[in-house]
Amino acid sequence: MSRPIEKLENLLSKPHRIVVVCVLFSVFLFLLSACFIEVANFAYGLTLSLVMPIIISYPISLVVIGYTKKIKKQKQELAELDIINKKLFTLISHDIRSPMATLKGLVDSMAFNDFDRETEKEYLGRLSKHIANLDLFLTDLLQWSQDQIQGKPAKSSLFKCKETIVQIGGLFEAMLLEKQIDFTLGDLNGTIYADPRNYAFVVRNVLHNAIKFTPKKGSINVCLKTEGHEVHTIIKDSGVGLSKVEIDTIFEGEKLFTQLGTSEEKGTGFGLKASIDYLKKNKGRLSIESTPGKGTSVSIILPNSPLPA
């Protein structure tokens, strides 16, 4: 949209501004016509040129401005949906096609090769792990897309997060065993005030990243720490670590940070970016402390009680 049109829209964005413009235009036309045509009652004509535009233009301007705002809102919603659709297509093409190709390869190997019982068991285990990971990604993607499209607010409540963390740890059991990671749980006795589904989404994605970037026979520890009115869910790993530039990339703008895991695991960076958005909705934040080659400590920081309005 060109600047002159924007200026005109701003000028006519309030009913009284439209009325003033109409009145000035009406008076101008009356005075202009009075210069060439003799007016029997100048005062009466001038009064009409002042009053009539107010009576006519004010209600019309209210209706027009109402429709304009509605159209602008619909245009903004369509633009947001377009952005969501583009993200979804990017994620689907990147994060689903690759796992599907892996699944197809495993199924084809089992279908067209005569494996012994032990090898079949190994392939079925790998197949189960890949299906679980794909299901996890689809669950997160579905939750995120529904929340974005419907504009759902966070439904915060007080809850103990130990059960959530233990369940998510069990979800990644196959991945932890495959990489022989020493997964330990510290003190998990804490209460958080947040949306339980949002919290589970964030923990799931941060823990998945920790596993992804931790080498075989590494270690991951999860614990809670209370500081004032906040609870820190700390997920610490002995992985490859992050540089300051990489940490800045995670938090800055719309750019997604992604790199291959220690076992060539692929990703888009979607989960971490969505997690940061969810934490903002829950009046929380993410903190990352890391040194390249020495592991990473990610803190999911949320209130432990309702914050004052």
Q: What is the H or E stretch that residue 102 is in?
A: helix 97-112
156 CB-contact burial (10 Å; exposed 0-12 / middle 13-18 / buried 19+): buried
pLDDT for 222 beyond 90: yes
> What's the CA angle centered on 246, arms 244 and 248, to 5 degrees?
70
What six digits make up the tokens of 178?
């495959």
pLDDT digits (tens, 9 = 90+) for 31-47: 777 777 766 677 777 77
Q: What is the H or E stretch that residue 221 is in?
A: strand 219-227
Residue 236 β-bridge partners: 221, 297
pLDDT digits (tens, 9 = 90+) for 181-196: 999 999 898 899 998 8
Query: 234, 223 in Cβ contact below 8 A?
Result: yes
CATH homologous superfamily of 155-309: Histidine kinase-like ATPase, C-terminal domain (3.30.565.10)
Per-residue pLDDT, averaged over 149-167, amounts to: 82
CA–CA dist 267, 74 (Å, integer): 33
| Cβ contacts of 130 within 8 Å, gap of 6 or more | 99, 102, 103, 106
CA–CA dist 222, 203 (Å, integer): 10
pLDDT digits (tens, 9 = 90+) for 70-107: 877 877 777 766 766 666 665 555 456 656 766 777 78
CA–CA dist 53, 22 (Å, integer): 6
The number of beta carbons lying within 10 Å of the beta carbon of residue 164 is 19
Domain boundaries, the chain: 3-77, 155-309
